Amino acid sequence: MWVRASLAYPLSFWTMTVGGGLITFLDFVGLWIMFHTIDSLGGFGLREIGLLYGATGLGIGIADLLIGSVERIGQHVRQGTLDAMMTRPVSLLVQVCADDFQPRRVSRILQAAAVFAWAGWYVEWSPLRVLVATQMVAAGVVIFFCLFVAFSCLQFWTSDVSQFANAFTYGGNTITQYPLTVFPKELVKSLTFVIPIAFVNWYPCLYLLGRDDPFGLPGWLQFASPLAAIVLAGMASLVWRAGVRHYSSTGS
Amino acid sequence: MLHVAVATRAFRRYSTYRAATLAGIFTNSVFGVIYSYAYLALWDQRPHAGGYNASDAVTYVWLGQALLMTVALWGGGSTDDLADRIRSGDIAIDLYRPVGLLGWYLAADLGRAAYHLLTRGLGPTLIGALLFDLVWPEGPVSGMVLPLVLFPRLAARRRARPAVGVVPADPCRHLAGASRRLVDPRCPRCAGAVGSRPADGVPGSPAGRDPQAGGPGWLTWRVPSVTTRRSRRCGCAPPSPIPCRSGR
């Protein structure tokens, strides 16, 4: 339904699809411009950063396509449309995701995939590295998916703080576009152990590039992305349940 | 007088959402921190990239975060209200009023911008000043230049988006016309966002942020923003907020 609805205005659809891809691509153009004056940023070259950029872009792109609409849950709460959804015999989360499903978000995924492929051309692939890359993308999707859900749940309590979630979802995407070596060690540790955004691309990419951890953290972290994703998924589902339980209709 | 009343109502309308304001300040600050560290890494390697030093660069980041909502380059504010009202047909009510449409919406947007400047502008700037070494205006004169630059920026915002469509018509009318034809106002809004990111000095993407740091030559000539061109025409302002802040 929503796919057909968005294709109803083809000019709008294509402008927004191409525009969305261009906007995210400009982030990479910015990095490329930076590399006109420098050879490496935080000890990483442009292609290595391209790998990081592509991986995190794939993660947030797919997560955003699947569940980006959850950001609007505050609107559903305000307008009372959430009540209607609760009476239907389908999972609430699925309904919220399916509402206002936006196929134009595909362009972002394609753009990230293109950068990832370009950067991945220079990785020396082995079967294990392919496996790590696959689980990196899967874990990245799950991690961003969970961040979208968990922080959107805050809107069950105060319905106008949707911006707060952006700091973690889009902020998490932005921070992982750079090699984490440019940030202080404390920040990187909290991105590993408090909010596991670093597992989206940083640790698996270190393995793909055959590098040691610049912060001296243990090497097994490079394989721990699925674990981080599972832990975060558990926490996000708890938050979601707490949020839905806390929800009381506006009534009439 | 009427326009002042419209502006104050708009100011109050936005000030109702306190949690949203705080959340916004938080988000702007997070992005400010991320971009600052990325910049510091660049300036660590090239301490005088583009003729600026590291604190100039960080100041640029935080000024950008502070102005992002005030200028509302990415959408929001009264242009979006207008587009939505055209879509729903409420615009008919606006046209019935014995007041100019543009003046009305400009007043509303200035009220909104004033609120955002005081909260989402001041908040991240203070946080940035606490966390990083920022450059402050050297004297009252160079300090005054910033507000001078800001005002034409706000006015030019109207021009900025349609200018992407390269139709130098009356901007609001064009936007209105465009959305009437397309029905979905998100479309021109999105096109505007694409154009504004690299074309304006407000740092949303690195592309907007660092061409002055010595990018390839072909990029540098098209970087001066719509506003900059405008303010140059008036002969009153230097090309970007940094020079006026640091007194260059």
A87 or B130: whose pLDDT is higher?
Answer: B130
A142 or A42: whose pLDDT is higher?
Answer: A142
In angstroms, the first-to-last Cα distance of chain A is 29
Cα A136 to Cα A62, A119, A189, B140, distances in angstroms: 13, 15, 19, 53
Q: Which amino acid is at A218?
A: P
Q: Which residues from chain A sit within 8 angstroms of residue B182, using beta carbons?
A: 9, 11-12
The answer to whether the Cβ–Cβ distance between B19 and A183 falls below 8 Å is no
Contact of A70 with A92, CB cutoff 8 Å: no
- The first and second tokens of residue B86, run together, are 């055209």
Residue A222 pLDDT exceeds 60? yes
Torsion of CA B156, B160, B165, B170, to 10 degrees: -20
Mean pLDDT value across chain B: 66
- pLDDT score for B29: 92
> Structure pTM?
0.76
Taking a contact as any Cβ pair under 8 Å apart, which residues of chain A between 54 and 113 contact chain B? none
Q: Which residues from chain A sit within 8 angstroms of residue B184, using beta carbons?
A: 9, 12
- pLDDT score for B120: 87
Q: Tell me if chain B has a CB within 8 Å of the CB of A183.
A: yes
Residue B173 pLDDT exceeds 50? no
Q: Tell me if chain A has a CB within 8 Å of the CB of B76.
A: no
ipTM: 0.84
Q: Which residues from chain B sit within 8 angstroms of residue A11, using beta carbons?
A: 182, 187
In angstroms, the first-to-last Cα distance of chain B is 38
- pLDDT score for B195: 44
Least reliable range by pLDDT among A164-168, A190-194, B142-146, B243-247? B243-247
Nearest chain B Cα distance for residue A131, angstroms: 30
Q: Which residues from chain A sit within 8 angstroms of residue B193, using beta carbons?
A: 19, 23
Q: Considering only CA atoms, which of A89, A62, A93, A61 is closest in space to residue A76?
A: A93
Q: What angle do CA B112, B241, B127 make, to 5 degrees?
A: 65
Q: Which residues are CB-neighbours of A128 under 8 A, at least 6 positions away? A: none
Distance (Å, rounded) from C-alpha B145 to C-alpha B238? Answer: 9
- pLDDT score for B146: 66
Contact of A196 with A140, CB cutoff 8 Å: no
**SS3 letters across chain A:** CHHHHHHCCHHHHHHHHHHHHHHHHHHHHHHHHHHHHCCCECCECHHHHHHHHHHHHHHHHHHHHHHHHHHHHHHHHHHCHHHHHHHCCCCHHHHHHHCCCCHHHHHHHHHHHHHHHHHHCCCCCCHHHHHHHHHHHHHHHHHHHHHHHHHHHHHHCCCCCHHHHHHHHHHHHHHCCCCHHHCCHHHHHHHHHCCCHHHHCHHHHHHHCCCCCCCCCCHHHHHCHHHHHHHHHHHHHHHHHHHHHHCCCCCC
- The first and second tokens of residue B128, run together, are 């940035």
CB pairs under 8 A between A and B: 124
Q: What is the pLDDT of residues A29-86, one digit of tens each?
A: 888 887 877 878 878 888 888 888 888 888 888 888 888 777 777 777 777 777 778 7
Nearest chain B Cα distance for residue A126, angstroms: 32
Q: How confident is the model at residue B197 (pLDDT cuts 50, 70, 90)?
A: very low
Q: How confident is the model at residue A241 (pLDDT cuts 50, 70, 90)?
A: confident
Interface test with B, best of A15, A17, A71 (most B CBs within 10 A): A15
Q: How confident is the model at residue B149 (pLDDT cuts 50, 70, 90)?
A: low
Q: How confident is the model at residue B199 (pLDDT cuts 50, 70, 90)?
A: very low
Q: Is B193 left (phi over 0), alpha (psi -120 to 50) or beta?
A: alpha
When pLDDT is averaged across residues A13-28 and rounded to a whole number, the result is 79
Q: Tell me if chain A has a CB within 8 Å of the CB of B143.
A: no
Q: Tell me if chain A has a CB within 8 Å of the CB of B219.
A: yes
| Percent residues over pLDDT 90 in chain A | 1
Q: Which residues are CB-neighbours of A46 under 8 A, at least 6 positions away? A: A31, A32, A35
Q: Tell me if chain A has a CB within 8 Å of the CB of B101.
A: no
Q: How confident is the model at residue B219 (pLDDT cuts 50, 70, 90)?
A: very low
Q: How confident is the model at residue A28 (pLDDT cuts 50, 70, 90)?
A: confident
A144 or A4: whose pLDDT is higher?
Answer: A144
Name the residue among A9, A23, A42 with its Cβ closest to that of B183.
Answer: A9
Looking at the DSSP bridge assignments, the partners of residue A44 are: A41
Q: Which residues are CB-neighbours of A74 under 8 A, at least 6 positions away? A: A152, A155, A159, A160, A161, A162
Q: Considering only CA atoms, which of A150, A231, A215 is closest in space to residue A182?
A: A215
- pLDDT score for B8: 92
Q: Tell me if chain B has a CB within 8 Å of the CB of A121.
A: no
Distance (Å, rounded) from C-alpha B104 to C-alpha A166? Answer: 32
- pLDDT score for B45: 81
Q: Tell me if chain A has a CB within 8 Å of the CB of B131.
A: no
When pLDDT is averaged across residues A154-166 and rounded to a whole number, the result is 78
Nearest chain A Cα distance for residue B118, angstroms: 18
Nearest chain B Cα distance for residue A28, angstroms: 8
The answer to whether the Cβ–Cβ distance between B27 and A161 falls below 8 Å is no
The answer to whether the Cβ–Cβ distance between B216 and A36 falls below 8 Å is yes
Residue A210 pLDDT exceeds 70? yes
Q: Considering only CA atoms, which of B87, B108, B97 is closest in space to residue B187?
A: B87
Interface test with A, best of B13, B42, B116 (most A CBs within 10 A): B42
Distance (Å, rounded) from C-alpha A169 to C-alpha B74? Answer: 18
Distance (Å, rounded) from C-alpha A142 to C-alpha A93? Answer: 15
- pLDDT score for B142: 67
Residue A140 pLDDT exceeds 50? yes
A108 or A160: whose pLDDT is higher?
Answer: A108
